[in-house]
Structure 1
Amino acid sequence: MNKLNEILSLVDGYIGGSQWFVFLLLGTGLFFTFYLRFPQFRYLGPAFRIVRGKFDRQGDEGDTSHFQALTTALSGTVGTGNIAGVALAIHLGGPAALFWMFATALVGMTTKFVEVTLSHKYREKTADGTMAGGPMYYMKNRLNMKWLAVIFAVATIFSSFGTGNLPQINSIANSMHATFGIDKIITGGVLAVLLGFVIIGGIKRIAQVTSRLVPIMAVIYFVGAVAVILFNYQNIVPSIISVFSDVFTGTSAAGGFLGASFAFAFNRGVNRGLFSNEAGQGSAPIAHAAARAHEPVSEGMVALLEPFIDTIIICMLTGLVILSSGVWSEKLDNQFQSADIEVLAGRYVESHEADREQLADFLLGRTDLARYTGGLQVTEGRIAGDVTILHARSLAGEIVVSKDGKPFTGMLHVVNGHLPVDDGTRLHGKSLIHSAPLTTEAFTKSWFGASGRYIVAIGLLLFAFSTAISWSYYGGRAVTFLFGIKGEIYYRIVYVIGFFFASFTDTTIVWTFSGITIAMMTIPNLIGILMLRKEMKSEVKAFWKEYSDFFGNQKT
């Protein structure tokens, strides 16, 4: 597992985790923001009118309403990114990472407006009478670049697992295990069966399910989040200040958090922001292609609401919960995950300033420290030896080694800092935590107390399960594009099987794979919409020329 994670991390470092990818993503959004004169602000009002059905016409072609298309797309974006992804961004980049998530969402509203408009314009009707669309169709039908369309469709299939399948059930299973003690395999098995029943019904059943799940899960989560923030009211202003104060300098050490550089906060904030709202990834256009609409621009306006709701509202809410509760920098009792463990040669003491600085520089990649190789003697669960164990980017303490539920006595074999724990051996102790467990812990810091865990567990269950449903549709449409409608049934079977196995797979590996697949989809889509920038502008002008009176003389 460690070796696999190393390979995936190396690949991710050249693609999704690289600076050039971040600049391409933000640069495209900024370009269209100025090129189309800030549509994310000017078109919010018309977007809400369209969602309410005020722009509908009798006989519009499509399979879903504007609202159902929005909720289907939202269910694909509102998922673990809003609960686990925000926590991971803060864990890696500190509070400043939230600012870059916010900035990504703001420019992402324009990106999503553009990609949905162009994809909706070039959608097609499939053999079974349903509408199919997405970036692969404008790449094929408008750009005449079928090879690029094929690359995007293949990437969509992989990303349906990396974005909508594996991280979702993995986070659900972890949350259910931590909150209710339910075995991860049981959670995976039950939800895999339910997922199979839903996705067999196609887009109409998916739209019906998600249009009910999204409002329910939003209300539950909102109530729990506000309770935490108000309970810790004295930390609200300091938390908001911390988001903005270290934007260009990075976040200094706090508690068990050893600090983060500007580059780390910037990269992780943008990366997690994209995972959350998927602006530029090209996934939402697949859902919006099914909407009944006679004007592609109108559906693009509906789509720009997604990053606003998903990231600017829900992710910021989660961020304030984590920061105001203070758990992001606290070391908490937890079971260590193999991919998050690193054994260093020599002993580093956290209370010594020089040691803290060395560890911080090591975690940020500025310097290297000697990793331990050799045997570690363990007696009644306690490790002997001149070593330092890091877990979840923090110096771990109070470590107990167990095997089959009992204190372990024997030898642990460490290779280049990696400590294999796949033979039933487990490490428990105090360290920072991240992803869904961090958000879960934050939700206990309110009047609800320990019961706050149930809010996250239920919210995560609904959020992530609905995301898995929507992404099965995205991947299915990509399969249809490549192999025809008959290929979808085989894809759905593999999708459900993958969903089950991911429930008990290492979290860190799942998230690393996710970052790679996101980039694989995003890059060809951004290239495509930039090539069609002039057509996009003319579409917008033509739309307002015809419908400006309907929307109150909105200027182009």
Structure 2
Amino acid sequence: MDFHALLTQLNAIVWGPVTLCLLVGTGVYFTVRLKLLQLVKLPLALSLLFKPASGKGELSSFGALCTALSATIGTGNIVGVATAIKLGGPGALFWMWVAAFFGMATKYAECLLALKYRTTDARGNIAGGPMYYIERGLGLGWLARLFAIFGVGVAFFGIGTFAQVNAISDAMTVAFAVPTWVTASVLTLLVAAVTLGGVKRIASVAQTLVPAMAIGYVLACLWVLLSLHDAIVPALSLVVNGAFTPVAAGGGFLGATVALAIQTGIARGVFSNESGLGSAPIAAATARTKEPVEQGLVSMTGTFFDTLIICTMTGLVLIITGVWSGDSAGAAMTSAAFSAATNPLLGQYLVTVALVCFAFTTILGWNYYGERCWSYLTGGRYAGLYRLVFLLLIAGGAFIKLDLIWLLADIVNGLMAIPNLIALIGLRSVILAESQRYFGMLAMPGGNAALPSRAKEAEDGLVS
């Protein structure tokens, strides 16, 4: 058995029925117990995005969200959607929606816990995320360390390096004939220049680049959709039908079963929005806010923006232009879609610029996530070694085959999600109690003014 076949079997186990049920089931549980919070409280969550910061922390709530979005809005929105639809057919987009809808409740829960159980590390920096709520909330240090190990694995071999670098390199080669080694070298230097400045510099770049690139890409997608508006309803029908019935082969498409649509849709959805993965709570913990619930609400909008808006736009463009059943794959498939709807040159350049920006910010975000997991494992030591390894992997990621990259990414993503989901289930009573307290106080006369600060009274004075 070769290495690729081994990874394929391992991926089938990691993303088998148990993980899928655990992932979606956790979101379903919190959706029911929190009474459709992701719908009912979405207006409140959006209004909190620009609320003035209060309390101790390193970033504003918006800055923390942009840092998290910098890691989530990446190749998953362009290459990941294309890969999912190529493998699972249009129905895979429906299952991405399902994963995102329930994932919003999961994202809310995990980021709430990040604020409640955050602390400061030996250097006085804010420290939070699944490692800390697993250890401080559940008292399971071994499970916290396991999560941190998988977190470093995702940063090194999953979302953080290979998938992003390879996508950037391929796009630059196709669009501008830039040699792979040049792209890898320049990208490594740029990542080093930004990430050595720490989370505040990453957040500064993210707050500028993430909103601009997301709005620009959505406008480009809207342009295509409006120009081909007659095909939107048939495309949506194909998505819904393909989610529950096998899709026959056509053109370069090999055909897809319902099981494959579900698996690829959910796996790529999680790759894109990272709900349940445990990454976003690491950024959320740095927010300058007194209320865990508020940061949970702000954070869940990340899944809304990432998958329900941006991934949906990409998916519909791929389907209405018909390229999903052709011979192209990955970024080339998305580029072909925009080229078919506009003109070849514009479509190619548009996708290339979007992909480079998306992937670059994802690298920055995951550098930070991986370093926080590394710091937890080593007690804050050997940070230089972590950064060196990360940069070496950035330099080498452009030379690895695409199918191998996605297999590695899916495997380490799934492994990282499992300890986090166990923690969410184990701390469900805490999540529900905090939510009930906050929304109960919010409903009282005086609203926000009546809210006491309850972000873990025993939190060493971090939140007052």
TM-score by length of 1: 0.78
Q: What is the match of residue 541 of structure 1?
A: 436
Deviation sequence 1:278-322 (CA, Å, 0-9, x none): 000000000111110111111101111011000000000000110
Identical columns (%): 40
Distance in 2, matches of 1:202 and 1:553, equals 36
Matched, 1:480 2:375: yes
- The amino acid that maps onto 2:31 is T
Per-residue CA deviation, residues 21-48 of structure 1 (Å, 9 max, x unaligned), is 1111111100111011111012112212
Q: Hey, what's the Cα distance between the residues in 2 that align with 1:110 and 1:552?
A: 26
Matched, 1:178 2:73: no
Residue matched to 1:515:
410
Aligned counterparts of 1:206 and 1:547: Cα–Cα separation in 2: 33
Amino acid at match of 2:224: V
Q: CA deviation at 1:96?
A: 0.4
Residue type at the aligned position of 1:216? A
Q: Does 1:132 align with 2:127?
A: yes
Determine helix, strand or coil for the equivalent of 1:257: coil
- Return the letter of the residue paired with 2:6: I
Pairwise CA RMSD: 1.6
Amino acid at match of 1:233: H
Q: Which residues in structure 2 correspond to 1:87-166 (within 5 Å)? A: 87-161=82-156, 162-166=158-162
Who is 2:76 aligned against?
81
Pairing partner for 1:201 from 194, 197, 202: 197
The AA in structure 1 aligned to 2:408 is: F
In structure 2, the residue matched to 1:39 is 37
Q: Which amino acid aligns with 1:23?
A: C
Unaligned runs of 5+ in 2: 452-464
> Where does the alignment leave 5 or more consecutive residues of structure 1 unmatched?
331-431
After superposition, residues 360-439 of structure 1 pair within 5 angstroms as 432-439=327-334
Check 1:122–1:318 CA distance in 2 against 1; reply closer, same or farther (3 A cut). Answer: same
Partner deviation per Cα, 1:57-112 (whole Å, 9 max, x = no partner): 3xx11000011111110111000000000000000000000000001000000000
Range with greater deviation from structure 2 (26-35 or 484-493): 484-493
Q: In structure 1, what residue type is equivalent to 2:382?
A: G
Alpha-carbon deviation of 1:546? 2.8
d(CA) in 2 for partners of 1:190, 1:276 = 25
2:64–2:287 contact (8 Å) kept in structure 1: yes
Q: 2:397: which partner in 1?
A: 502
Match of 2:425 among 514, 530, 551: 530
Q: CA deviation at 1:552?
A: 11
Output aligned runs, 1:297-316, within 5 Å.
Answer: 297-316=293-312
Q: Which residue of 2 aligns with 1:13?
A: 12
The one-letter amino acid of 2:13's match is Y
Q: How does 1:282-361 map to 2 (within 5 A)?
A: 282-330=278-326
User: Contact conserved, 1:80 with 1:463, CA < 8 A, in 2?
Assistant: yes
Structure 2 Cα separation of the partners of residues 99 and 253 of structure 1: 19
| Per-residue deviation, 1:11 | 1.1
Shift in CA distance, 448/227, structure 1 to aligned 2, threshold 3 Å: farther
Contact 1:108 1:279 in 2 (8 A): yes
* AA aligned opposite 1:150: R
Q: Contact 1:184 / 1:503 at 8 angstroms: preserved in 2? A: yes
Provide the secondary structure at the position in 2 that maps to 1:505: coil
CA distance in 2, matches of 1:544, 1:323: 41
Q: What is the aligned partner in structure 1 of residue 366 from structure 2?
A: 471
- Residue identity opposite 1:4 in structure 2: F
1:244 & 1:519 partners in 2: Cα distance?
26
In structure 1, C-alpha distance between the alignment counterparts of 2:246 and 2:19, rounded to whole Å:
20
Given that residues 115 and 282 in structure 1 are in contact (C-alpha distance below 8 angstroms), is that contact kept between their aligned partners in structure 2? Answer: yes
AA at the equivalent of 1:65: S
Query: CA offset at residue 185 of structure 1?
Result: 1.4
Equivalent residue for 2:348?
Answer: 453
Q: Kindly tell me: are residues 553 and 37 of structure 1, through their superposed partners in 2, closer, same or farther at Cα, counting changes over 3 Å?
A: farther
Question: 1:192-218 deviations in whole A, cap 9, x for unaligned?
Answer: 110011110001101001111101211
Partner-residue secondary structure (3-state), 2:382 = helix
Q: Is the 8 A contact 1:273 1:311 kept in 2?
A: yes
Residue range with higher mean Cα deviation, 485-494 or 273-282 = 485-494
Q: Deviations over 1:438-476 (max 9, x none)?
A: 111111022343221111101011000000000000000
- Contact 1:228-1:325 within 8 A present in 2 as well: no
Q: 1:202-241 to 2 correspondence within 5 Å?
A: 202-241=198-237
Between 198-207 and 242-251, report the one with greater CA deviation.
242-251
**CA distance in structure 2 between the partners assigned to 1:486 and 1:61 by the alignment:** 25
Equivalent residue for 2:188?
Answer: 192
**SS at 1:205 equivalent:** helix
Q: 1:551 deviation in Å?
A: 5.9
1: distance between equivalents of 2:92 and 2:294?
33
Q: Deviations over 1:98-142 (max 9, x none)?
A: 000001000000000001111221111123322111101011112
Structure 2 counterpart of 1:222, which letter? V
Match of 1:398 in 2: none
Distance 2:237 2:394 in 1: 40
Give a deviation string over 1:334-363, Cα, whole Å, max 9, x none: xxxxxxxxxxxxxxxxxxxxxxxxxxxxxx
Larger Cα Rg: Structure 1 or Structure 2? 1
Partners of 1:228 and 1:445 within 8 A in 2:
no
Where 1:102 maps in the other structure, the secondary structure is helix
Bigger strand fraction: 1
Q: How many residues align?
A: 448
1:534: Cα distance to partner? 0.9
Q: In 1, Cα distance between the equivalents of 2:344 and 2:328?
A: 19
More relative contact order, 1 or 2 (CA 8 Å, 6+ apart):
2
Question: 1:66 aligns to what?
Answer: 61
